Structures are given as structure tokens and as C-alpha cells.
């Protein structure tokens, strides 16, 4: 059994963070997003993975290489032109074996993947979709299934009269690889709107696994910030690389001055420095090599590597890309997203 991770999206909704870094490798607390997905695959013993990449593939490969450092074998299926979710899986077909797990590259979940695979095999399904219930089903394409778990139909962006379920496609699948022969090669094709409905039309068993636990698509700044809150507060379980301290986590190579104030939950990553009089937390993430100056404040924010907050600067509800600098008394407020190398001069306010 092998896996394909769909990691080719440009992450347009996360711009400017993704102008220089593809969404699948943006940091999520202490590791790139794709590492979280590799961790999930490890729990079902999958060691051979295909990254389907299109946007800035060299950035992905530079981080993961051939996977040997992580005990994996990683292959790359590069799209010369965007092929869609189905076309990307088809492009990876020569690298796959009998059963394939497919993960959307912007989804995090605590689904019991072993149970999904076991149910798929026991039912002899041709495909199994993980579904997630949502509060507002009208905003999504719905997947309707019966009490036995058999998928009955797909309803794209329903009007109120068509809503018969609250379950949506969660972007996690188990497929019998031979079914990929239904997909046309080398063209843009949707696994959701083309492949799965075609399987149903041919009478194949398409099975649903409804997951009632944690699930999030991190594709917007709001959701990206939310997943950090969820990890820090234990709603999505991650063993963070740091020691528990003051209600948060501090990496062994970080330095938090005795006169700094830390309010949990928070994460202070490798080689970060928090100076006397600074305040971090709650819900603050300093990814790595970030310096928080005297009197500076970081709350409900994510700061990527190399950021610097000068004395008295504040980041509250903000996302700061790599090497962003806030000058003295500058304020990056709720909803502020600053791309790599940006700077706010002294006393500048964004909200």
C-alpha cells in the first residue's frame, strides 16, 4: 500500500505567505504541513509516498528529499501544467501499487486511518471516502450515504431543498489503484466531480467513512491561525518538539529571559529569543530563530522563522511570514498577514 499526497496547489488564499513557499510546506507549529500528513501515514505503516507537486516543487524536494531522513521513500510526480485532483493522482499512477491512500495536501485530521483502510478492505469497496459533518452544508458539495456506509450520490453546492445530509468530502480516500484506468491521462480532471461519480454510475461500491473527530482545511488565513490554536490547546493532538513550561512548550535551543512573561498555551521554537519584559501568549507560535524584544507582545499570532519584533512592538491575531520585522511600538493587528521580508516601521499600525 502506497500513498499520494496532492501537494500541487498554489495556496492563493494564503497569499502573501505562499508567494515564496508552497502551501504544503508552510509551518504548522513545529514542522511543515506535509510532515503532519506523513505522521498520519506512519500510523498505518505506509512508508512509500508520492508527492504530487506543481507549484515550486523544488521547495518541497529541498525539505524532504528522498524521505530517507524520515524513514520513508518519497517520490515526486511533477505536473507541467495543473491537472486537477484526479489528473494529479493519474499522473502518479506508475508509482503506485494495489491499494492507494490519497490525501489532499491542505487537510489535517485525527481520523483513524487504520480503521478506514480496514473497512475498505473488509467491504471490498473500489473506493472509500472519508466524510466530515459540517454545520453549514449548503456551502459545500455533499456526499450522501446509507446506513451501511454505501455512497448513494454526490450533490454539488445544493439549494436548501436538496440538503439531505450534512456530510462533505474530507479529502482523504482509499482507492483500488486499478480503478484509475477510468481517468483520462495527461488532462485536467477532478477526482470529486469526475472519478467518484463515474465509479457510482458503473455500479462500483463506493464506501463512506464518516469521521466525527477533528478535521480542518488550512487554506485560509483564518483556518491557518485556527489550527495553531487547536494544536496548542490539545484539540488536535501533536507531540510538539519542546519541553512543557509555563503552560506552553519551549524548544531546548530557545532562550526565554527570566523577566519575560509567558501565558499558555504557546510554542517557542528552535533558536528563538524572548527578551526581558516581553510577553508571549496565549496562542502564540514562534516557529524558529525569532527575536521578541523588550516590552514586545505576541498574542494569538504565528511568526515564521527569522522574524523580529523591536521594543514595544505587538502582534495580535497576525500571521508574519519569514524574516518580517516590526519596528518599535509597531502594531500588527487582527487579520494582518505579512509576506516574507516585509517590515513595519516604528509606530506603524495595521488595525
Phi, psi of 13 (to 5 degrees): -75, -15
Distances (CA, A) of 205 to 5, 87, 96, 103, 200: 23, 22, 21, 20, 7
Q: Are 69 and 35 in contact (CB under 8 A)?
A: no
Q: What is the pLDDT of residue 12?
A: 85
> Residue 153 has what pLDDT?
84
Could you tell me which residues are beta bridge partners of residue 223? Answer: none
Domains of the chain: 2-221 (3.90.550.10), 240-344 (2.160.10.10)
Q: What is the pLDDT of residue 148?
A: 87
Cell of 66: 528522498
Q: What is the average pLDDT score of the chain?
A: 91
Task: Please write down the long-range contacts of 286-292, taking CB distance under 8 Å and 24 or more positions apart.
Answer: 286/254, 287/27, 287/29, 287/30, 292/260
Q: Taking the model in full, what pTM does it have?
A: 0.91
Task: Reduce the DSSP state of residue 6 to 3 states and report it.
Answer: strand
The pLDDT of residue 34 is 92
Report whether 333 contacts 348 (CB < 8 A): no
The confidence score (pLDDT) of residue 161 equals 64
pLDDT of residue 154: 85
User: What stretches in the chain show pLDDT beneath 70?
Assistant: 138-140, 157-163
Amino acid at each position: 500500500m502506497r500513498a499520494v499526497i496532492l501537494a500541487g496547489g498554489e495556496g492563493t488564499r494564503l497569499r502573501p505567505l505562499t508567494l515564496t513557499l508552497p502551501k504544503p510546506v508552510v509551518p504548522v507549529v513545529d514542522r511543515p504541513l506535509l510532515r503532519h500528513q506523513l505522521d498520519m501515514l506512519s500510523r498505518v505503516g505506509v512508508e512509500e509516498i508520492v508527492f504530487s507537486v506543481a507549484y515550486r516543487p523544488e521547495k518541497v524536494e529541498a525539505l524532504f528529499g528522498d524521505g530517507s531522513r524520515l524513514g520513508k521513500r518519497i517520490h515526486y510526480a511533477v505536473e507541467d501544467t495543473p491537472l486537477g485532483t484526479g489528473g494529479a493522482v493519474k499522473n502518479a499512477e506508475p508509482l503506485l501499487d494495489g491499494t492507494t491512500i490519497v490525501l489532499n495536501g491542505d487537510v489535517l485530521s485525527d481520523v483513524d486511518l487504520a480503521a478506514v483502510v480496514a473497512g475498505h478492505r473488509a467491504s471490498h469497496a473500489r473506493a472509500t471516502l472519508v466524510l466530515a459533518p459540517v454545520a453549514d452544508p449548503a456551502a459545500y458539495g455533499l456526499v450522501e450515504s446509507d446506513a451501511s456506509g454505501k455512497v448513494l450520490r454526490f450533490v454539488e453546492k445544493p439549494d436548501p431543498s436538496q440538503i439531505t445530509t450534512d456530510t462533505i468530502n474530507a479529502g482523504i480516500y482509499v482507492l483500488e489503484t486499478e480503478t484509475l484506468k477510468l481517468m483520462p491521462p495527461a488532462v485536467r480532471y477532478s477526482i470529486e466531480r469526475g472519478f467518484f461519480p463515474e465509479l457510482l454510475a458503473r455500479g462500483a461500491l463506493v464506501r463512506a467513512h464518516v469521521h466525527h473527530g477533528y478535521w480542518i482545511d488550512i487554506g485560509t488565513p483564518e483556518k491557518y491561525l485556527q489550527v495553531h490554536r487547536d494544536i496548542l490547546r490539545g484539540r488536535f493532538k501533536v507531540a510538539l518538539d519542546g519541553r512543557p513550561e509555563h503552560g506552553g512548550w519551549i524548544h531546548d535551543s530557545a532562550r526565554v529571559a527570566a523577566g519575560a512573561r509567558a501565558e499558555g498555551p504557546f510554542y517557542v521554537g528552535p533558536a528563538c529569543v524572548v527578551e526581558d519584559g516581553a510577553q508571549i501568549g496565549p496562542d502564540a507560535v514562534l516557529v524558529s530563530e525569532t527575536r521578541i524584544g523588550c516590552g514586545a507582545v505576541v498574542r494569538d499570532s504565528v511568526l515564521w522563522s527569522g522574524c523580529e519584533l523591536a521594543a514595544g512592538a505587538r502582534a495580535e491575531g497576525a500571521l508574519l511570514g519569514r524574516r518580517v520585522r516590526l519596528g518599535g511600538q509597531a502594531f500588527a493587528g487582527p487579520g494582518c498577514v505579512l509576506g516574507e521580508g516585509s517590515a513595519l516601521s516604528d509606530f506603524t499600525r495595521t488595525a
